[in-house]
Amino acid sequence: MESIRPALYQFLNKYVDEDRILLSEPMSAHTTFRVGGEAKALVSINNEEELINLIPFLNGEQEPYYVKGNGSNILVGDKGYNGIILELSSNYNKVKCEDGIIYAEAGALMSSIAKVALDNSLEGFEFASGIPGTIGGGVVMNAGAYGGELKDVVTKVRVMDPKGEILTLSNENMQFGYRTSAIKTRPFVVLSVEIHLEKGNKDAIEEKMNELNSQRRLKQPLEFPSAGSTFKRPEGYFAGKLIMDAGMRGYTIGGAQVSEKHCGFVVNKGNATAADVYEVILEVQERVKKKFNVNLEPEIIFLGTF
C-alpha cells in the first residue's frame, strides 16, 4: 500500500478536519462483511460542499477514490484499496419531511428514512425499512425487497459529475432497472434524493414494517456479517434455490460460508478473509453454471486487490 502524498493530504486537510482523515484505515471496520485490508485514506464527509471541493480535485489528480455509504454491498480485498475512500454515512445523513415529500442526503440510512416516513404517517417505504444500506447507494442499484423497489418512490436524484457540476435527474432519467440505474454506468456521485410517498394509517404502516422485518429475521442470516443477498436474481430463477439445488448449502472456505439458513447469502462465520468470501462466490458461480447453465451475477461490488 502506497503512502498518501503530502500534497494530497494537505489538500484534503484544507477542507476536512484532521480527525476525519484516517490514514491506512482497515476497511474491515467500515463494511458489513467485516473483512478487507487498508485504504490509503478514509475521509468522513460532513456535507455536500466537501464533496464538491474534493472530487474534482481527485479526478484532476487521477487519484483513485470510492464513495461509500454504509459499506453494505462491497467486498474490499485483503491487500486493500490503493486510493481514497469518501465515507458518507457518518454525518452526511440528514432527512426531512415537507408536505409529504421526504428529502434525504445520500448518506442517510434507509432505515432512518423509513422511521421519518412512519413518524409522518407516509406509506410506500416499508419494504426498505430493513435494508442496511444508505439511500445514495440504494438508488444507484435500485435497491428493493418484498416486492418494492426505490424506483417506485424516488422522484428526483441530485448528482454531481466529475467536474463538480450539479445535476438533477428525474425518475425517468434515472433509467431504473433490476438492481441498476443510469448512475451505474456514468461517473456521477449521488448527493441527495427526493422521495414521494402517500398518506396512510400510521398503525398499519408500523405493522407492515414489523411484519417485513420479522420475515427478514426469520429467513435471513442476520446473525452473521454479510453484504445481504450475494447474487442478483437470474431471470426465471431464484439464486438461493439454484445454489441449494447445486448442493452448496453450508459450503465453506476458511471462515466464509454459503449460509445454511438462506443459500442466497455468503456470510462471514467470524474469521473470514476477503479471499475466503471471494473464493466461495467464484465456486458458487462455477457450480451453478456447470449444473444449470445459469450465470449468477454478484450484487456485491469488488474493491481493491484480493
Are the CB atoms for 113 and 69 separated by under 8 Å? no
User: 141 near 228, Cβ under 8 Å?
Assistant: no
Catalytic member of 179, 192, 226, 259: 179
**Spatial CB neighbours of 85, under 8 Å, sequence gap ≥ 6:** 25, 27, 30, 39, 41, 42, 43, 65, 66, 68
Q: Give the separation between CA 29 and CA 31, rounded to whole angstroms.
A: 6
Q: 212: which 3 cell numbers? A: 417485513
Q: Among this protein's residues, is 123 annotated catalytic?
A: no
Asked if 275 and 78 count as a contact pair (C-beta separation under 8 A), the reply is: yes
Active site residue 179: yes
Candidate list 25, 63, 105, 299, residue with the active-site label: 299
What residues contact 224, with CB distance under 8 A and at least 6 apart? 259, 267, 268, 269, 270
d(CA 195, CA 124): 10
Q: Single out the catalytic residue among 44, 89, 226, 229.
A: 229
Name the residues annotated as catalytic: 179, 229, 299
